[in-house]
């Protein structure tokens, strides 16, 4: 089980309180601050309140990291189901971790998780506007969660819209910055910036949703 830092405890407290008040909170915290630890703590608290927990993400590496964090924090007795490509998960487990692309192909099964507590990693991908239906939106709507909370280091969508504008979240709760973490000694204080000496022109390069 993790021993949470004070800032992680504060984020978990604020996120839990916001959900219980009917809000849809987004927990913003810089890379390296341990968002997966906060997510695992929120899962533990939701289980203690009698809720089922569903965690969603979109990349294999993130999925593996989250499952490892949850197993460590919840203990070996908590069996975690997985909805990933090729899996045949039991839908009655208290904790389920799913990959969004796979869940989007199994929307008909997700009503089994109605009234769960949903925890969304890399939550800047979520857009709940009707005109911009995405796999993330379809999965969230099919799950019909009782409450949900997102976590992200970068709370802005690739199209430049804030997540409040996208209808996904109602309140943002900010964690410590990288500078604050370095001052506290939680992150390395020594670093080196290396950049090319050459000027690079982007003239004429095509962009898709802000990226080259």
Q: What is the 3-state secondary structure of the chain?
A: CCCCCHHHHHHHHHHHHHHHCCCCEEEECCCCCCHHHHHHHHHHHHHHCCCCEEEEECCHHHHHHHHHHHHHHHCCCCCEEEECCCCCCCCCCCEEEEEHHHHHCCHHHHHHHCCCEEEEECHHHCCCCHHHCCHHHHHHHHHCCCEEEEEECCCECCCCCECCCCCCCCEEEECCCHHHHHHHCCCCCCCCCCCCCCCCCCCCCCCECCEC
Tell me the whole-structure pTM to 2 decimals: 0.88
Residue 206 exposed, middle or buried by CB count within 10 Å (0-12, 13-18, 19+): exposed
Task: Supply the mean pLDDT for the chain.
Answer: 91
List phi, psi (to 5°) of 56. -125, 150
In tens, the pLDDT along 101-127 reads: 999 999 999 999 999 999 999 999 888
User: Is the pLDDT confidence value at 73 over 80?
Assistant: yes
Local confidence band at 86 (pLDDT 50, 70, 90 cut-offs): confident
Local confidence band at 210 (pLDDT 50, 70, 90 cut-offs): low
Pick the closest to residue 38 from 5, 63, 61 (CA basis). 5
**Average pLDDT for residues 52-57, to the nearest whole number?**
97
Residue 10 exposed, middle or buried by CB count within 10 Å (0-12, 13-18, 19+): middle
Residues 6+ away with beta carbon under 8 Å from 8:
33, 34, 37, 38, 41, 175
């Amino acid at each position: 089980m993790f021993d949470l830092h004070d800032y992680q405890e504060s984020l978990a407290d604020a996120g839990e309180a916001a959900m219980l008040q009917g809000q849809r909170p987004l927990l913003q915290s810089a890379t390296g601050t341990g968002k997966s630890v906060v997510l695992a703590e929120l899962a533990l608290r939701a289980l203690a309140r009698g809720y089922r927990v569903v965690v969603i993400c979109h990349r294999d590496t993130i999925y593996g990291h989250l499952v490892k964090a949850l197993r460590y924090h919840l203990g070996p007795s908590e069996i975690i189901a997985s909805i990933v490509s090729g899996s045949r998960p039991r839908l009655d487990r208290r904790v389920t971790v799913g990959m969004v692309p796979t869940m989007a192909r199994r929307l008909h099964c997700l009503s089994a998780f109605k009234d769960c507590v949903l925890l969304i990693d890399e939550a800047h991908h979520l857009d709940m506007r009707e005109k911009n239906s995405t796999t993330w939106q379809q999965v969230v709507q099919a799950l019909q969660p009782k409450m949900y909370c997102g976590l992200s280091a970068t709370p802005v969508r690739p199209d430049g819209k804030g997540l409040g504008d996208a209808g996904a979240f109602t309140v943002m709760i900010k964690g410590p910055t990288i500078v604050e973490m370095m001052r506290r000694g939680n992150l390395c204080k020594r670093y080196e910036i290396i950049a090319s000496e050459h000027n690079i022109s982007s003239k004429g390069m095509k962009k898709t949703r802000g990226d080259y």
